[in-house]
């Protein structure tokens, strides 16, 4: 048998199938990206709604792996809770069955015969692409072309393996997988883990079944293994992420393993005890889609009531402490860029995280000016380095995002976010300056007067409060708190003028040392600029 003429066309067909699936999904994503973002923003604690949402998004992007990677990213960025993530993960397994039904439609809908439909779809898509000028038209052409290529790929794979019907050795491999559930599950898991797509893995199985090579029992075990293999992508994306993100990936793995164990027991009893001959017949593409759908919906129905226990178990298995995490690591996944609307929301969450780190630095600066605690001064410097690293990483990611196909409003939003990012980074710099003033006071053995100390504390309270309100306003897109920032900034401007004037009088009357006086004036400048940058953040929110 000429295996070269079997393997080469099969690999080419698989590549065409995956490419077609991806460009079709990309077109759907571009068309529905903003809607998906809106749905995610509306996501509640209701897990049932999360199941529906996960199924819908996965049906659109044609990959449960991509959906769960997205979920891990959301949990990591704080957009989604573990409770919400559990619902979306369960729904993703249901949504991934759509591709199998598309492929098997050549059996139950004869008018969708690839030989007739695929070339027409590709040609129609190319015509639309060449004649259309609008972005939405280009997206439609991608969907049509991808649909056609998907069918051409599956047809090529099916045709290439047809000669294997006469190969006893190849048929025996699948018979062995059918008799040994463990081997069948492992085979499905390994293939899916390698190509990182359960939809493509199911497509391969369907192309082999079209050639009459796959026994029913082998297909069942392989399908269950495919659901475990699809977890690999999410596990990989959680490496280096926060504890909650890793827990989300473990939840996905546990959900699929538990489902596989339960249905494997049922399948073993069915094929080995109840109907020993039922599993020996060859399975069709439509039957593969049916088994895949029953397995995924059945697993969700069975485990939905105990999903909270799966979350608890995942938390126990993932014991890493978040305190061991590197705060300076940018928690943005480049794979999120495939869905720009959602990637944009991730940037917002990461900037909010950086903003909260600067709040902590501001709290330290407010205390260290008077305590002059060396340990706290070192902490401020460490946090300033963390903020610099985050600022650099987030900026790079946002620039990558802005180079994608976005609308004018999204481009403006990115520009606004970059301005806010810069303002937060500058506030961190000023906090470090304040810690340096404390060191200067220690070195020169200078002290503020009692009146000067009280005035500086009052100024700090106003300016740092303005920044705290700014971060809260940004994180919650709260215009009411943004207005409080404006009020505090105006108060800081007036106070700075009053305190500078009062301090100059003290200096003239020798009521304050020169060294302490210089530091006092420099501190006023820093604090007033902190309130200015806080106002910038608030104005960006009010203009959005």
pLDDT tens digits, one per residue of 162-185? 777 666 776 677 778 778 888 989
Instruction: Inform me whether the pLDDT recorded for 97 exceeds 90.
Output: no
| Closest by CA position to 246, among listed 489, 64, 68 | 68
CA–CA dist 402, 337 (Å, integer): 10
436-449: pLDDT as tens digits: 999 988 888 888 88
Q: What domains can be seen in the chain, in order of their start residue?
A: 7-317 (no CATH), 337-543 (1.20.58.220)
Where does the pLDDT of residue 452 fall: very low under 50, low under 70, confident under 90, or very high at 90 and above?
confident
Measured distance CA(374)–CA(376) in Å, rounded? 5
Confidence of residue 530 (pLDDT cuts 50, 70, 90): very high
Cα torsion angle, 148, 150, 151, 155, sign: positive
Mean pLDDT of the 133-142 span: 76
Give the Cβ contact number of residue 134 at 10 Å: 8
For residues 321 and 300, what is the distance between their CA atoms, to the nearest angstrom? Answer: 30
The pLDDT confidence band at residue 140, using thresholds 50, 70 and 90, is: confident
User: Between 204 and 116, where is the model more confident?
Assistant: 204
Collect all residues with Cβ–Cβ distance below 8 Å to 100 and sequence separation of at least 6.
199, 202, 203, 206, 288, 289, 292, 293
Return d(Cα 37, Cα 39) in angstroms, integer: 5
Give the bridge partners for 282, in sequence order. 215
**Residue 215 DSSP symbol:** B
Chain position carrying tokens 């610099």: 388
Position 526 pLDDT exceeds 90: yes
What confidence score (pLDDT) does residue 37 get? Answer: 52
541 — pLDDT class (breaks 50, 70, 90)? very high
The per-residue pLDDT for 113 is 58
* pLDDT above 70 coverage of the chain, percent: 88
Q: What pLDDT shows up at residue 533?
A: 96
Looking at residue 44, what is its pLDDT? 47
Q: Which comes out higher in pLDDT, residue 117 or 92?
A: 92
| pLDDT above 90: percentage of residues in the chain | 34
DSSP strand E in 31-74: where? none
Residue 332 backbone dihedrals phi, psi, to 5 degrees: -125, 125
Residue-level pLDDT at 471: 96
pLDDT per residue as tens digits for the range 268-289:
998 888 887 777 888 888 899 9
Residue 364: pLDDT band by 50, 70, 90 thresholds?
very high
């Amino acid at each position: 048998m000429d295996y070269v003429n079997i393997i080469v066309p099969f690999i080419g067909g698989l590549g065409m199938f995956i490419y077609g699936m991806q460009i079709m999904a990309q077109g759907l994503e571009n068309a529905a990206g903003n809607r998906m973002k809106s749905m995610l923003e509306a996501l509640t604690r209701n897990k049932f709604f999360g199941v529906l949402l996960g199924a819908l998004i996965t049906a659109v992007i044609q990959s449960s792996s991509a959906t769960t990677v997205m979920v891990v990213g959301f949990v990591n960025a704080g957009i989604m809770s573990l409770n919400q993530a559990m619902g979306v993960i369960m729904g993703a397994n249901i949504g991934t069955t759509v591709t199998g039904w598309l492929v098997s439609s050549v059996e139950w809908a004869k008018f969708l015969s690839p030989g007739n439909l695929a070339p027409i779809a590709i040609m129609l898509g190319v015509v639309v692409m060449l004649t259309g000028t609008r972005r939405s038209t280009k997206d439609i052409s991608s969907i049509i072309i991808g649909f056609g290529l998907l069918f051409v790929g599956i047809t090529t794979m099916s045709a290439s393996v047809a000669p294997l019907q006469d190969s006893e050795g190849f048929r025996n491999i699948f018979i062995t997988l059918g008799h040994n559930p463990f081997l069948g599950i492992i085979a499905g898991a390994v293939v899916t883990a390698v190509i990182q797509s359960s939809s493509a893995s199911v497509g391969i199985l369907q192309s082999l079944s079209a050639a009459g090579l796959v026994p029913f029992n082998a297909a069942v075990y392989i399908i269950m293994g495919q659901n475990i293999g699809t977890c690999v992508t999410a596990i990989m994306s959680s490496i280096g992420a926060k504890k909650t993100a890793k827990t989300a990936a473990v939840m996905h793995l546990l959900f699929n393993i538990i489902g596989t164990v339960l249905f494997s027991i049922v399948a073993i009893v069915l094929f080995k005890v109840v109907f020993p001959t039922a599993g020996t017949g060859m399975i069709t593409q439509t039957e593969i889609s049916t088994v895949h759908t029953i397995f995924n919906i059945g697993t969700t129905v069975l485990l939905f009531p105990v999903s909270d226990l799966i979350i608890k178990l995942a938390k126990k298995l993932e014991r890493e402490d978040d305190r061991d995490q590197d705060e300076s690591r940018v928690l943005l996944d480049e794979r999120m860029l495939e869905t720009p609307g959602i990637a944009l929301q991730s940037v917002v969450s990461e900037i909010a995280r950086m903003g909260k780190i600067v709040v902590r630095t501001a709290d330290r600066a407010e205390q260290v000016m008077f305590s002059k605690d060396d340990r706290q001064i070192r902490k401020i410097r460490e946090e300033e380095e963390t903020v610099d690293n985050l600022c650099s990483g987030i900026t790079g990611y946002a620039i990558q995002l802005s180079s994608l196909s976005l609308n004018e409003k999204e481009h403006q939003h990115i520009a606004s976010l970059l301005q806010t990012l810069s303002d937060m980074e500058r506030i961190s710099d000023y906090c470090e300056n304040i810690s340096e003033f404390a060191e200067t006071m220690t070195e020169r053995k200078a002290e503020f007067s009692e009146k000067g100390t009280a005035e500086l504390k009052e100024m700090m309270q106003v300016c740092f409060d303005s920044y705290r309100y700014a971060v809260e306003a940004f994180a919650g897109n709260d215009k009411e708190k943004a207005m409080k920032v404006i009020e505090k900034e105006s108060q800081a401007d007036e106070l700075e003028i009053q305190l500078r004037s009062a301090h100059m009088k003290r200096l003239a009357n020798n009521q304050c040392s020169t060294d302490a006086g210089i530091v006092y004036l420099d501190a006023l400048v820093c604090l007033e600029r902190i309130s200015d940058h806080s106002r910038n953040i608030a104005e960006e929110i009010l203009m959005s």
